Structure 1
Amino acid sequence: MGVTRRIVFPALRILIWAVIAVALLQLAFGGGSTPTGDPGAGPDEPSAVFEEPQVEVTTATITNQVTLAATIVADGAVTARANLDGTINYFEVDEGALVTEGDRLLVIRQETPRDPVESTDDEGNVTVTPRSPEVTTTVVRAPASGVVRFSVLEDQAVSIGDAVATVTPGTFSVLGSLTPEQQYRLISAPAEGQVEVPGGPAPFTCTGLTTGVAVGADGAPDQQPDGEAQAPTDGTTVQARCSVPAEVTVFPGLTASLVITSGEAADALVLPVTAVQGLFETGVVWVVGPDGEPEERPVTLGLTDGELVQIVDGVAAGDLVLEFVPGAEIEPIDPYAMDPGLG
Structure 2
Amino acid sequence: ARLGVRAIRWAIRQLRFEGATILGLARQLGTTWNTVWSHIKPCLQAASDDPARFTGIRVLGVDEHVWHHQDRRHRGPRELTGIVDLTCGEEHPTARLLDLVPGRSGTVYKNWLEERGEDFRSGIQIATLDPFQGYKNAIDDQLQDATSVLDAFHIVKLAGDALDEVRRRVQQDTTGHRGRKGDPLYQIRNLLRASRDRLTKRQQERLREAFTADEAHISVEVAYHCAQQVRDVFHQATPAQGRRLAAHLIERLPTCPIPEIARLGRTLRKWKDAFLAYFDTGGASNGPTEAINGIIELGRRTARGYRNPTNYKLRMLLIAGGLDASTHTQL
Same fold by TM-score greater than 0.5 = no
Q: TM-score, normalised by structure 2?
A: 0.21
More helix by share: 2
Q: TM-score, normalised by structure 1?
A: 0.21
More strand by share: 1
